[in-house]
Amino acid sequence: MTSTALEVRLASRPKGWPTEDTFEVAEVEVPTPGDGQILVRNVFMSVDPYMRGRMNDVKSYVPPFQVGAPLEGGAVGEVVASNAEGFAVGDHVLHGLGWREYSVVNGKHAVKVDGNVAPLSTYLGVLGMPGLTAYAGLLATAEFKPGDVVFVSGAAGAVGQIVGQIARLKGASRVIGSAGSAEKVKYLTEELGFDAAFNYKDGPVAEQLAATAPNGIDVYFDNVGGEHLEAAIASLNLHGRVAICGAIAQYNDTAPPAAPRNLVQVIAKRLTLRGLLVSDHQNLQQQFINEVGPWIANGDLKYAETVVDGGARQAPSAFLGMLRGDNTGKMLVKF
């Protein structure tokens, strides 16, 4: 085993869009695990929109990244040394210390995964945090009911692609998605079974949504915020529900967003807008696996991954690409 390895650190706090200079790739000694710890050689790491918020020094639901310290995030890797009961060399584990080639992980914070049951990458995507976010957000936060008309923004992303399919499989009367390219729109309708989809770059979102949902929508799963949220409020029917999962359209803004400007409609329509954190729904984990796992196995639920090779040195560019929407499905970095 090598004696040195690479890790990605936060070099500076970005103002607006991050750049390559926001990150520093450093060579460090491979750490040694202590009592109750394991040393993991990472195979895949995740880049996710929420990580942008952690680059700001503001109070939030998770502490900010520290300048000069390695970033963190979901990763799957192979145990190469173990001082923790229940973990053996050769096991594969899911943990939260990505952005580095080797991670020392407390055994209590690692979960064994089996690459023979599902590809290791899926534990960071469709069977991992994004999958549970989609499942819990649609069913618990948005209180989906069979017959609902469902609109999903960022529908070709890691979470959105799963939301729309679960809605379809659970009996939605119509599933609509927005995405940022003609290719993604085609992916949604021809491969994932969305009833309709549109490219938000082709014109005002409100007009395109109204055209694809002439009778309105009942549920909006929001991954984008801004203009999309304003459009959804305009199209929501009486007692409509919104699961607010993310607002990627404004994560890099330096000024307050212009939209939504129609929140007064929340009163007349008696709408419910509810924020979503997947950490609040760990009680649904087993139910999610039990229901979604067979859908994946029999092909009823499909998923895409965008995998960037090159490990730590390519992680910053993969993260920036994810913010730009370069990915279809889950964006991953392979070591």
Is the CATH number 3.40.50.720 carried by domain 129-279?
yes
Cβ atoms 231, 206 nearer than 8 A: yes
Cβ atoms 141, 242 nearer than 8 A: no
Identity of the residue numbered 330: K
272-275/236-244 β-pairing: parallel
31/310 Cα distance (integer angstroms): 21
Domain with CATH 3.90.180.10 in the chain: 4-124+304-334
Domain with CATH 3.40.50.720 in the chain: 129-279
The ranges of the chain with pLDDT < 50 are: none
Give the three-class secondary structure for 74.
coil
pLDDT the model gives residue 1: 72
pLDDT the model gives residue 249: 83
- Residue in the structure block whose two tokens are 């049951």: 117
pLDDT the model gives residue 31: 94
pLDDT the model gives residue 257: 81
**Whole-prediction pTM:** 0.92
187/218 Cα distance (integer angstroms): 23
Show the tokens assigned to 273: 């807008």
pLDDT the model gives residue 226: 95
The CATH classification number of 4-124+304-334 equals 3.90.180.10
311/52 Cα distance (integer angstroms): 19
Write the burial class of residue 27 (CB in 10 Å: 0-12 exposed, 13-18 middle, 19+ buried). exposed
Write the burial class of residue 278 (CB in 10 Å: 0-12 exposed, 13-18 middle, 19+ buried). buried
